């Protein structure tokens, strides 16, 4: 199943990773899941709530962040379908820490940010048995969010 996202939202994800550098940046993907795939319609960018000493290689979205995301998604007729975060000066592959904290039904976009510039973004879904991530194709469409 592909994750479909507008070029505008995709660029916002990459810009958020650059702005957070040298720390990890993170946020939520709001959209819908259907037979045709996952469609991102909006996103929420949050400050990394992890303690200062760990922000360079860990992110934390608080319970309040998730609640705000769920409430906004409900108002828009959407749902939280994923999380995005950046890996400063590291590849866009999920870490063991990412796997331990992930939820199988969400998409996880990870952006590699090297020397303050976003490079590559990839999306992942955790298998139901939580053993590993599987890559999910990202389809970036022209135009803005809807």
Q: What is the pLDDT of residues 40-99, one digit of tens each?
A: 999 999 999 999 999 999 999 999 999 999 999 999 999 999 999 999 999 999 999 999
What are 117's two structure tokens? 């510039």
Q: Which of 97-101, 137-141, 142-146 has the lowest mean pLDDT?
A: 142-146
CATH class of 3-132: alpha beta
Residue 89 pLDDT: 97
How sure is the predictor about 145, in pLDDT bands with cuts at 50, 70 and 90?
A: low
Mean pLDDT of the chain: 95
So where are the chain's domains? 3-132
Residues near 58 by Cβ (< 8 Å), separated by ≥ 6? 24, 50, 97
Average pLDDT over residues 4-17: 98
The DSSP result for 52-90, as a single string, is GGGTTT-----HHHHHHHHHHHHHHT-EEEEEEEEEETS
How sure is the predictor about 146, in pLDDT bands with cuts at 50, 70 and 90?
A: very low
Residue 144 pLDDT: 63
Residue 36 pLDDT: 87
Residues near 79 by Cβ (< 8 Å), separated by ≥ 6? 30, 31, 32, 33, 70, 73
């Amino acid at each position: 199943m592909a994750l479909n996202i507008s070029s505008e939202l995709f660029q916002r994800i990459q810009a958020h990773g650059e702005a957070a550098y040298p720390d990890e940046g993170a946020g939520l993907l709001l959209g819908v899941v259907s037979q045709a795939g996952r469609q991102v319609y909006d996103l929420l960018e949050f400050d990394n709530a992890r303690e200062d000493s760990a922000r360079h290689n860990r992110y934390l979205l608080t319970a309040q962040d998730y609640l705000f995301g769920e409430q906004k998604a409900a108002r828009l007729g959407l749902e939280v379908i994923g999380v995005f975060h950046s890996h400063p000066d590291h590849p866009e592959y999920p870490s063991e820490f990412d796997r331990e904290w992930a939820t199988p039904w969400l998409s996880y976009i990870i952006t590699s940010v090297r020397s303050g510039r976003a490079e590559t973004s990839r999306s992942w879904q955790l298998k139901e048995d939580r053993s590993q991530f599987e890559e999910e194709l990202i389809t970036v469409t022209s135009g803005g969010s809807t």
